[in-house]
Chain A
């Protein structure tokens, strides 16, 4: 668990993708302002029949599953004792921080009376029967745990920083406006550095308890995300409404977590022109089929037990979506059973993408597509509603892009060979 496993990505922050993402973010946040001034109806197509739309389904249910990379990698590294995957953990945790933070933010946009949220902290208002109560507390706790897990990266940087940007800014401010530097500024900055240096070894000592908490909490709330729909027994289609929803959601978030760790690594290697971590990735890919096989068997076994197999194969609207999510996951994991395909970055990418798509579609099916409140109700997200989600996701990618360039997040390139490849890629570009 040494800190020299990680490094900053040395590159410019202001890139074309930065500008595009920033524009999308600004549009999204402007629409969020509209929502707070004129009400939810002004930007969304949600209705009394479909009270949960794309924000809950995508940003919360799917978003937190995609953010389970940190959870899945932590299980692999600390519980299954595969320490050589440790270099992958920081980028996984950073995406989890953004995923969960923004899911929480989306909820605050989505709920009608966010100023009453303090009631979650008042014991007399607690309602343990509600799966929502469990999800809310657990997600809040987990977001803090993730921040703690990421803190070492910040502390290491603080310890070594010389505050160049701040110094330059203060100089510029002095030249332009004549404002003097605050006295004792350097002294104070030094004390921040000292504090970071003091805190880091102490945090390292207790970090393992935080990390394990970071495994326990997602196990709880990811299953509860499934429990949320248990009560909608008359509205959720029988293909998806089952007492096994919590278990299915739990396994679902694990295989999505490992798959997304693969996707992230491949995409960031490609985007940041670093060599692919093929050996680590194929090791991670080895676990996924085991999880998906359990998941697929529970799905089939449960359908058979409830006598819904015929409905699953009837090829009506619901059956088609069911078969689609089922086969995406099945095909993706079939590919991963082949040892040779696991060695190829392309096949790893394709199968991981199929599994993430299938797993995410499963959550869409449960929250939206399989949900039918009765005659006369229809839902398709409004443009503004979609743009808010796009803005939030853009902000997430933007933050990741910037933070890997100012904090040591990505795995350090070790061998001469890896460094040469990086050099070659950079020259080509």
Chain B
């Protein structure tokens, strides 16, 4: 009795394993661009670190325009008891965009701007269980809806750039991240607040194809000024926030990433297991069959015992 049932059990285990192996195999052959198409007609921004003077006008413009809608607040520095300046240390539940300085030596330094990268295949959208994170297929903007969000913070775990921020100190918290002024400046003026404000033209707003063309022109015209790389052109399947800089990007806090979007990898495995919901239903059916057969056998055996007992 024991042997066939163990075999059945192992067969089930094997089936699960095989399903996973298929998922694994599919990943090996697929290229980076397979599965999702990069849409260059979507909107984004090009940040040129060599033009940025670190005036932080973009930061204050962002807060001025988005504070009510995006639940942003001013952050006091420790020494500043009167609250004269807004001094965020990092992106946070009160701050969507931030300028930082990286200084290697007195002659070698660079500013860098952090905000949502608006990925072409965003991890946060892929993992959100209730579709609170969405990507507008027309504009490419990755947006957040606090009225659906359950606050599970899976988007934070998933984002390779650590962009979504959570309001840890609030009883009614939400996720905070850039939405390209979707409901504020973009509606009123057709441009993001940071790009509109930048006095040196370090932030350029436009369609992704225009931004890429402009970046390539700058690289071509002034190759000594830049690292020969447009950060965000290929990273994680392409982002709509692009960077040019004079220093290696990972030194500026922008991680070295593969061209394949992490969401492509995870979705492929998840889809292989749950394709058409066939595997779970088949599993349930098989298990029901086995369990009922076993139960009947058991009842038959019990009945027999019973009769014998009466004899």
Q: Give me the interface of A with B, judged by CB distance under 8 Å.
A: 1, 36-42, 44, 46-49, 51-52, 75, 78-83, 107, 110-114, 116-117, 119-120, 124-134, 136, 208-209, 211-213, 215-216, 219-220, 223-224, 227-235, 243-244, 246-247, 250-251, 294, 373-374
A48 x B270 contact (CB < 8 A): no
Known A113-B151, A234-B160: A208·B269 in contact at CB below 8 Å? no
Determine whether the beta carbon of A244 is less than 8 Å from that of B20: yes
Quick check: B172 and A246 within 8 Å, CB to CB? no
- Interface secondary structure of B, over-half rule: helix
Given A216-B287, A232-B157, the answer on whether A126 and B150 have CB atoms closer than 8 Å is no
Q: Cβ of B290 < 8 Å from any Cβ of A?
A: yes
The reply to whether A231 and B123 contact each other, CB–CB distance below 8 Å, is yes
Stretch at the interface among B2-10, B202-210, B219-227: B2-10
Residue of A nearest to B255 (CB): A234
- Complex A-B: 30 CB contacts under 8 Å: A1-B295, A41-B169, A48-B164, A48-B168, A79-B9, A81-B5, A111-B152, A112-B174, A113-B146, A116-B147, A116-B150, A116-B151, A119-B148, A120-B129, A126-B131, A131-B127, A136-B129, A208-B291, A216-B283, A219-B283, A223-B16, A227-B266, A230-B270, A231-B126, A232-B157, A232-B158, A234-B257, A234-B262, A246-B269, A374-B255
Query: Complex Cα distance A81/B289, Å?
Result: 12
Residues of B within 8 A of A52 (CB): 153, 157
Are B162 and A112 interface neighbours, CB within 8 A?
A: no
Q: Are B265 and A111 in contact (CB under 8 A)?
A: no
B108 / chain A contacts, CB cutoff of 8 Å: none
Known: A119-B131, A129-B271. 17 other contacts (CB 8 A): A38-B171, A41-B168, A42-B169, A44-B168, A51-B157, A79-B290, A116-B148, A119-B130, A127-B130, A128-B270, A129-B267, A130-B126, A132-B128, A132-B154, A229-B157, A231-B123, A246-B269
Looking at the assembled complex, report how far the CB atom of B225 sits from the nearest CB atom of chain A, in whole angstroms.
27
Tell whether A130 pairs with B265 under 8 Å between CB atoms, given A243-B23, A250-B16: no
Known: A112-B153, A132-B154, A234-B257. A48 touches B92 (CB 8 A): yes
Give the complex CA separation of A241 and B75 in angstroms.
Answer: 37
Say whether B9 contacts A75, CB under 8 Å. Answer: yes
Partner-A contacts on B (CB < 8 A): 1-2, 5-6, 8-9, 13, 16-17, 20, 23-24, 27, 91-92, 123, 126-132, 146-154, 156-158, 160, 162, 164-174, 255, 257-258, 262-263, 265-267, 269-271, 273-274, 280, 283-284, 287-288, 290-292, 294-295, 297-298
B151/A212 in contact, CB under 8 A: no
Known: A51-B153, A234-B262, A247-B16. A78 touches B294 (CB 8 A): yes
State whether A39 touches B123 (Cβ < 8 A): no
Decide: A132 and B127 in contact? CB cutoff 8 A.
yes
Cα–Cα, bound, A112→B144 (Å) = 15
Closest to B123 in A: A231
A48 near B274 (CB under 8 angstroms)?
A: no
Shortest beta-carbon distance from A10 to chain B in Å: 29
Complex CA distance for A40 and B170, rounded to whole angstroms: 7
A232 and B169 within 8 A (CB): no
For residue A230, which residues in chain B have a CB less than 8 angstroms away from its CB?
262, 265-266, 269-270
Separation of A332 and B292 alpha carbons in the complex (Å): 34
Specify which chain A residues have a CB less than 8 angstroms from the CB of B156 in the assembled complex: 48, 51
Q: Give the complex CA separation of A319 and B198 in angstroms.
A: 47
Chain B residues positioned under 8 Å from A134 (CB to CB) = 270, 274
The answer to whether B150 and A117 have CB atoms under 8 Å apart is yes
| A-B interface contact total, Cβ < 8 Å | 213
How distant is the Cα of A52 from the Cα of B8 in the complex, in angstroms? 38
> How far apart sit A1 and B302, CA to CA, in the bound complex (Å)?
10
Q: CB within 8 A of B262: which of A82, A208, A231? A: A231
Known contacts being A49-B162, A75-B9, A111-B152, is A83 close to B298, with CB within 8 Å?
Answer: yes
**Contact of B167 with A131 in the complex, beta carbons under 8 Å:** no
- Report the bound CA distance from A220 to B129 in whole Å: 16
Residue of chain A at shortest CB distance from B268:
A243
- The answer to whether B174 touches A125, judged by C-beta atoms less than 8 angstroms apart, is no
Contacts of B257 in A (CB 8 A): 234
Whether B129 contacts A130 by the Cβ 8 Å rule is yes
CB pair B168 A243 closer than 8 Å: no
Chain B residues, CB < 8 A from A211: 291
- Distance in angstroms between the alpha carbons of A312 and B274 in the assembled complex: 32
The residue of chain A having its C-beta at the shortest distance from the C-beta of B290 within the complex is A79
For the complex, give the distance between the alpha carbons of A44 and B257 in Å. Answer: 31
A374 cross-chain contacts in B, Cβ below 8 A = 162, 255
Contacts of B171 in A (CB 8 A): 36-39
Contact among B5, B123, B165, B280 for A79, CB-based, below 8 A: B5
- Contact assessment for A113 and B149 in the assembled complex, using a CB-CB cutoff below 8 Å: yes
- Tell me, rounded to whole Å, the shortest Cβ–Cβ distance linking A31 to chain B: 15
Bound Cα distance A131, B169 (Å): 28
CA distance A130 to B271 in the complex (A): 10
| Known contacts A232-B262, A233-B265; is-contact A79 B287 (Cβ 8 Å) | yes
A125 to B130, CA, bound (A): 5
Given A208-B291, A216-B283, A234-B262, A130–B157 Cβ distance below 8 Å? no
A49 to chain B, nearest CB (A): 6
Residues of A within 8 A of B20 (CB): 243-244, 246-247
| The one of A107, A120, A373 that contacts B162, using a Cβ cutoff of 8 Å | A373
Q: Known: A215-B287, A231-B263. Is A125-B148 also a contact (CB below 8 A)? A: yes
Contacts of B17 in A (CB 8 A): 247
CB distance from A34 to the nearest CB of B (A): 10
Nearest chain A CB to B55 CB, angstrom units = 25
- CA of A51 to CA of B9 in the docked complex: distance in angstroms? 38
Query: For B132, what are the chain A residues with a Cβ–Cβ distance below 8 Å?
Result: 116, 119
